[in-house]
Amino acid sequence: MPSTSSQESTMAQESPKNSAAEIPVTSNGEVDDSHEHGFNRDLKCSLPAGLGLSETQITSHGFDSTKEGVIEAGAFQGSPAPPLPSVMSPSRVAASRLAQQGSDLIVPAGGQRTQTKSGPVILADETKNPAMEKLELVRKWSLNTYKCTRQIISEKLGRGSRTVDLELEAQIDILRDNKKKYENILKLAQTLSTQLFQMVHTQRQLGDAFADLSLKSLELHEEFGYNADTQKLLAKNGETLLGAINFFIASVNTLVNKTIEDTLMTVKQYESARIEYDAYRTDLEELNLGPRDANTLPKIEQSQHLFQAHKEKYDKMRNDVSVKLKFLEENKVKVLHNQLVLFHNAIAAYFAGNQKQLEQTLKQFHIKLKTPGVDAPSWLEEQ
């Protein structure tokens, strides 16, 4: 049958071309036989029934194989079917597919290929993102500021309720009032110290002038000498009194601007905690008055948690303020008692002219004056 042999030779010539048209590669770098079997099945169906071929099988090899395509004939079974085109995809399509699959292959140093799974890579978030942390802090601060501002405005307008500790609030008001009075005493004592310093300086200059005239006026030598000694003694006692007043000022200044101010800073923190506590308490009360469903229950639980945390903070700050007020009162009484005794004894001894009593008062309170020799120049030296 010449027609049958001519068709077989034609298919044998076209077989190598078709087998090299597209070579599927599996994930392990091996030739995929499933595509070969599919191609053979299509080829069987494409052959007409009148050819009388018992079976057709096509075996394809790799690019490096020197063998041509082989067609084996055997018994053919099956119903006739319309011919299907046996033209495969162009070789550039196979090359592009191989290139895509080759991108997933990693060749290690030993030459063995291993396939890596493609897709998104998920990295473990071991360290938190600083930007996200800052953003979360800003969000919490903004929410807390909004709640506290709303609470303050509602209190000023008389619409909101506030938590009041009557005993503690009374002690805080007394402390603030006493601070203002102590600041006034401190200001007046500083004014007295400045004026006394100017008077002592003037007395020292006047004593130097009298001493100079006692040397130049023989007829008034004794009179000028007495006045010079008196002014110098007054200047010396004034310096002693000035040392006592400055010590009094330093002690009261420490009490007012450090000890009391530190307590008032704690009071401010307590008031801020009280505002936060009332703000979250009001928020929780509003949520409890509303409906309870699947959407509001998580909000109520979160609000309850925040309210409890701010309540603990408020209780802690209230206890801290109570303790500090107690210790401040004890320290204030002790400090002011000693300073008031010093101020009284020094002033009384100075105006009584009791130099020994004045010096004894300074020794009693361990007050050391500046060493002599650093006084201002005399009137004659300035000339």
The CATH number of the domain holding residue 345 is: 1.20.1270.60
pLDDT at 209 over 60: yes
pLDDT band at residue 78 under the 50/70/90 scheme: very low
Across residues 342-366, what is the average pLDDT?
Answer: 87
- Apex 193 CA angle, 191 and 198, nearest 5: 100
Residue 205 CA from chain centroid, whole number = 61
Q: Is residue 280 part of a domain?
A: yes
Q: Which residue would you say has higher pLDDT here, 63 or 319?
A: 319
Whole-number pLDDT of residue 72 = 46
**pLDDT band, residue 325 (cuts 50/70/90):** very high
For the residues of 280-309, what is the DSSP string, one character each?
Answer: HHHHHHHHHHS--STTHHHHHHHHHHHHHH
The residues, any chain, with a CB within 8 Å of residue 181's CB and separated by 6 or more, are none
pLDDT at 196: 93
Residues counted in the chain: 383
Span 63-67, average pLDDT:
44
Average pLDDT (293-311) is: 86
Whether residue 87 is contained in a domain is answered as no
Pairing relationship of beta strands 70-73 and 114-115 according to DSSP bridges: unpaired
Torsion of CA 357, 362, 364, 368, to 10 degrees: -150
Residue 44 forms part of a structural domain? no
| Tens-digit pLDDT profile for residues 155-198 | 888 887 888 889 999 999 999 999 999 999 999 999 999 999 99
* Res. 371 pLDDT band, cuts 50 70 90: low
Residue 251: the pLDDT is: 93
180 DSSP assignment: H
Q: Is residue 140 part of a domain?
A: no
| CB-based contact 239:200 (threshold 8 Å) | yes
Among 349, 355, 352, which Cα is nearest to 233's?
355
- Matching residue, tokens 């929780």: 284
Under DSSP, the state recorded for 366 is: T
Report the percent of the chain where pLDDT is more than 70. Answer: 63
Name the CA dihedral angle for 35, 38, 40, 44, rounded to a multiple of 10 degrees: -160
Residue 107: how many CA atoms within 13 Å on its side-chain side?
A: 4
Are 22 and 89 in contact, with CB atoms under 8 Å apart?
yes
pLDDT value at residue 19: 44
Q: Is it the case that residue 151 has pLDDT exceeding 90?
A: no
Average pLDDT over residues 115-120: 47
Of all residues in the chain, the percent with pLDDT exceeding 90 is: 32
Asked if the model's pLDDT at residue 65 lies above 50, the reply is: no
Q: What's the count of helices (H) and strands (E) in the chain, helices before strands?
A: 10, 4
Please report the pLDDT score of residue 172 as a whole number: 94
And the tokens for 13? 């010539």
pLDDT for res 370: 65
Between CA 140 and CA 134 the distance in angstroms is 10
Contact between 291 and 338 (Cβ < 8 Å):
no
pLDDT of 221: 84
Indicate whether 316 belongs to any domain: yes
Structural domain includes residue 160:
no
**CB contact burial 201-218 (16+ within 10 A = b; e otherwise):** eebbbbbbbbbbbbeeee
Give the confidence band of 377 by pLDDT, cuts at 50, 70, 90: low
Q: Does 356 have pLDDT greater than 50? A: yes
In total, how many domains does the chain have?
1
Exposed (0-12), middle (13-18) or buried (19+): which is 233, by Cβ within 10 Å?
middle
Structural domain contains residue 343: yes
Cα gap 103→181, rounded to integer Å: 84
Q: Per-residue pLDDT tens for 197-206?
A: 999 999 999 9
Report which residue type is found at 205. Q
pLDDT at 128 over 60: yes
Q: Check residue 163 and give its pLDDT.
A: 86
Query: Which is more confident, 99 or 210?
Result: 210
Ordered DSSP codes for 77-117: -S------------HHHHHHHHHHHHTTEE--TTS--EE--
What is the mean pLDDT of the segment spanning 336-345?
Answer: 92
Of 42 and 219, the structure prediction assigns the larger pLDDT to 219
Q: Given the DSSP bridges, would you call strands 105-106 and 70-73 parallel, antiparallel or unpaired?
A: unpaired
- What domain range includes position 191? 179-369
Report yes or no on 47 lying in a domain: no
119: region left, alpha or beta (phi > 0 left; psi from -120 to 50 alpha) = left
Query: CA-to-CA distance for 329 and 85, rounded, in angstroms?
Result: 107
Q: Who has greater pLDDT, 76 or 330?
A: 330
Q: pLDDT confidence of 324, banded at 50, 70, 90? A: very high
Look at the pTM and tell me if it is higher than 0.75.
no
